[in-house]
Homo-oligomer: A and B are copies of this chain.
Amino acid sequence: MVSIHRRIFEDLEAMIVSGVWPPGYRIPFEHELVQEYQCSRMTVNKALSALAGRGMIIRRRKVGSFVASPQIDRTVMDIQDISTEAELAGHDHSYRILMRNIETLDSATAAQLGEPIGAQILRLHCLHSVDGKPNALERRIIMLAMVPSARTENFSSVPPGKWLLDMVPWSKARHVIRAVSADAATARLLETERGEACLTLIRQTWQGSRTVTYVEIIHPGDRFQFAGDFHPSERGVMDQLPRRSAS
A143–B75 Cα distance when bound, in Å, is: 22
Task: Report if A238 contacts B (CB, 8 A).
Answer: yes
Total identical chains: 2
Task: Report if A231 contacts B (CB, 8 A).
Answer: yes
Q: Mark A227-247, 1 if CB is under 8 A from B, else 0.
A: 111111011111110110000
Task: Report if A118 contacts B (CB, 8 A).
Answer: no
Query: A72-B165, A81-B72 given as contacts; is B179 within 8 A of A243 (CB)?
Result: no
Contact between B165 and A180, CB atoms less than 8 A apart: no
Q: Which of A204-247 contact B (CB under 8 A)?
A: 205, 207-208, 219, 221, 224-232, 234-240, 242-243
Separation in Å of the A169 CB from the closest CB of chain B? 5
Chain B residues positioned under 8 Å from A18 (CB to CB): 171, 208
Chain B residues positioned under 8 Å from A19 (CB to CB): 169-171, 207-208
Contact between A54 and B174, CB atoms less than 8 A apart: no
Separation in Å of the A55 CB from the closest CB of chain B? 4
Chain A contact residues, CB within 8 Å of chain B: 16-19, 22-23, 50, 52-55, 58-61, 69-70, 72-81, 84, 165, 169-181, 195-200, 205, 207-208, 219, 221, 224-232, 234-240, 242-243
Nearest 8 CB-CB pairings of A with B: A179-B221, A197-B197, A179-B199, A179-B179, A73-B80, A173-B230, A55-B237, A172-B231
